[in-house]
Amino acid sequence: MTADNHELGLDVARRAKVIATDSPEQTKAYGAPFFLDGFPERDRVVDLADVVTGSVLSRNGAGDTTLLCSVGLAGTEVVVASRIMSALRARP
C-alpha cells in the first residue's frame, strides 16, 4: 500500500484501535511511499504475533477495529484467515 495507490484511506488507520503487521522490522524499513509514512499512526504499528498471543489487546468491544498491514508473508495471511474463520464458526 502506498500513498498514491493504497487500498484504503488513512481515516481507517486513524479509527483503528490497533494497527498490526506481520513484519514490524520490514514496515520500519519502508519510507515513502508506504501509506503510513509521515503520519502519527505509523508509531502505533504492533507485531501481529503480539495480538495473536494476547500481549496486545486488539479489541475491547464489537465496535473496535484492528487493521492488518500485511507485508506479503503468505504463511501469516493463511494463519490469520484460519483464525478469523474459526472465530466466525464459533459464534452462536
pLDDT in tens, 32-83: 656 777 778 888 889 988 988 889 988 888 889 888 888 777 777 788 788 8
Are the beta carbons of 14 and 41 closer than 8 angstroms? yes
Single pTM value for the model: 0.67
Using alpha carbons only, give the angle 17, 22, 25 rounded to the nearest 5 degrees: 100
Predicted local confidence at residue 32, as pLDDT: 61
| Element at 84 (helix H, strand E) | helix 74-90
Which domains, ranges and CATH numbers included, belong to the chain? 10-90 (3.40.50.720)
Question: What band does 1 get if pLDDT is binned at 50, 70 and 90?
Answer: very low
